[in-house]
A and B are shown apart, each in its own frame.
Chain A
Amino acid sequence: MKATIVTVLLAAIICMVYSCQSEDQIEYMRYYTAGQDLYKTKCQNCHGAQGEGLAALIPPLTDSVYLKANSNKLACYVQNGLQLPILVKGKAFNGQMPPAGLSPIEIAQVLTYVKNSFGNNMGLYNVEKANQDLSKCN
């Protein structure tokens, strides 16, 4: 009997907490979790489970300063790959990144994950913003 009451109470509390989340938070979580799965299949082999990269071959994704400064170019990098030399964490990387083969919504999801993992905290990057950035790719 007591157990039932406790369970019901707990369920009620969980419901309350959940409904307290704003629409924005729910949307963010949707992007983030979808992005996490995409990251595992498309990015993790090279960039690592912790975004650590690989020595001087593959840049880490932990450089928040770089990510912020290049925030609106990242979608193009994911879509088309990258050949230019870039400077990340003070180190030059000049290898090639292949195109990821992702749709704009997937790019938005995976970038939301990257921009809010590995010590980064840049909030939601939605598909509208991704499409806007993608329209400016060279």
Chain B
Amino acid sequence: MKFTLLSACALLLWSSCSFNDKSNAVLPIYGSREPVTKTVNGKQVTDTVYQTIPDFEFLNQYGKTINRKSLDGSIYVADFFFTSCPSICPIMHRNMLKVYETFKNSGNVKILSHSIDPNHDSVPVLKNYADKLGVTGDTWWFLQGKKESTYKLAESYLVAVQEDSKAAGGYVHSGYFILIDKQKRIRGTYDGTKPEDADKLIADIKTLQNEPQSMIAQ
């Protein structure tokens, strides 16, 4: 009797978990937000304005200028790295390769890897790095620009980056992957050094791809 009750409880718990799992998952929106009240058709309407990624301008591995507009209509993942990084970058990009392989033909997903060491990581160096990773086309861009602009942009992704002569390779940076939706809002952060986080990221990108238009057009 006790056993039946227990197993019934277990079954209930299990089914409630798997039910919540996928069908109606909605990703949170991160960052600061503020209410804005405006008058629409004579009525007072209060809306929430979410933090978005500000404009930027960097060169990609093909020497082409990439800015905020280049990402219109795309879901994208951003990270910060440098090609001579001896510590966490290889494992980050081993995991990011999985994301790349999954979405390289989807057309609406991009990956932006910002170099935090633009003095060393020139356009040809980034192109060479991309070639060696086996990255082609315009799905995964390796970007470089002014150091200050990159570091400032990292702040809007809620990622910490700084120079430190004591750290391996001369920089400390967190190995996070940041997921940005088509409205340029932060929808997820993932530890780029963990393979299981990369799997979560892939699942979350699919969730964003299926997000209804009404939610996108806020």
Contact = CB atoms under 8 A, between A and B. Distances in A.
A57 B132 CA distance: 6
Interface in B69-115: 84, 86-88, 90-91, 93-94, 97
Contacts of B90: 45-46, 54, 57-58
A41 to B, nearest CB: 11
B168 interface: yes
Contacts, number: 30
Interface string B118-158: 00000000000101111000000000000000000000000
Size category of the binding interface on chain B: 10 to 19
A56 B91 contact: no
Interface in A80-138: 96, 98
Interface in A40-90: 44-46, 48, 54-58
A45 B87 contact: yes
A55 B95 CA distance: 12
Given A46-B86, A98-B168, A55 B133 contact: yes
Size category of the binding interface on chain A: 10 to 19
A46 B133 contact: no
A45 B91 contact: yes
B134 A56 contact: yes
A98 B86 contact: yes
B91 A46 contact: yes
A42 to B, nearest CB: 11
B88 A57 contact: no
B197 to A, nearest CB: 15
28 contacts: A44-B91, A45-B87, A45-B88, A45-B90, A45-B91, A45-B193, A46-B86, A46-B90, A46-B91, A48-B94, A54-B90, A54-B93, A54-B94, A54-B133, A55-B97, A55-B132, A55-B133, A55-B134, A56-B131, A56-B133, A56-B134, A57-B90, A57-B129, A57-B132, A57-B133, A58-B90, A98-B86, A98-B168
Interface of A: 44-46, 48, 54-58, 96, 98
